[in-house]
Amino acid sequence: MKQLFRNHPIAASGFVLAAAVTLFFLFRIVSSALYWSDPAHQNETVKPWMTVGYIAKSWDLDPREIDAIAGLPTPEEHGPWTIREIATARGVEVQVIIDQVNASIAALKAQGQPSD
């Protein structure tokens, strides 16, 4: 191995870097798959710390549809805000936003909205 680095330092370094990047993304894919396959993370009750993207992933819905029906700003407009941050920005109670999100989830499930 030392001889490989001595004879081909750029190629060997490139290989090590590529292997490290591959392992990083493999870990992310596996950990994400394990997290979302856990039934405790599916159809979770909406909480103030959640983002619309998290809620959509939990309920297997399109986050843009939740935004549109609930009348929430899209991430392009504000970034991935939490439900609490959206409520604070609007000057309303968190429960008002949670109720809007829950109503949009119910509407999308009633429509049989296809997931991403």
Q: Please count the other Cβ atoms lying within 10 Å of the Cβ belonging to residue 8.
A: 12
Query: Where in the chain are the domains?
Result: 2-37, 40-111
In 3D space, the residue among 39, 46, 37 whose CA is nearest the CA of residue 106 turns out to be 46
Highest mean pLDDT among 10-14, 72-76, 78-82 belongs to 10-14
Q: Is the four-CA dihedral 95, 99, 104, 109 of positive or negative sign?
A: positive
Higher-confidence position of 45 and 78? 45
pLDDT at 114: 55
Confidence of residue 40 (pLDDT cuts 50, 70, 90): confident
Quick one: DSSP state of residue 52?
Answer: H
Positive or negative torsion for Cα 45, 53, 107, 98: positive
Q: Which of 5-9, 52-56, 68-72, 109-113 has the lowest mean pLDDT?
A: 109-113
